[in-house]
Amino acid sequence: MSTVEGEDALLAVAKPPKVRRRRLRSILLVLMAQYTIVAMIVGLSVAGILRYVVTPQIVAKFEAIEAALKRLPSP
pLDDT in tens, 34-48: 999 999 999 999 999
Question: In which band, very low, low, confident or very high, does the pLDDT at 7 lie, cut at 50, 70 and 90?
Answer: low
Q: How confident is the model at residue 18 (pLDDT cuts 50, 70, 90)?
A: low
Q: What angle do CA 25, 30, 32 make, to 5 degrees?
A: 95
With bands split at pLDDT 50, 70 and 90, how would you rate the model's confidence at 65? Answer: very high
Q: How far is CA 34 from the centre of its chain?
A: 7
The span from the CA of 75 to the CA of 72, in Å, is 9
Q: How far apart are the first and last CA of the chain?
A: 112
Is this prediction's pTM over 0.95? Answer: no
- Over 70: is that where the pLDDT of 52 sits? yes
Q: What value, to the nearest 5°, has the Cα angle with vertex 63 and ends 59 and 66?
A: 140
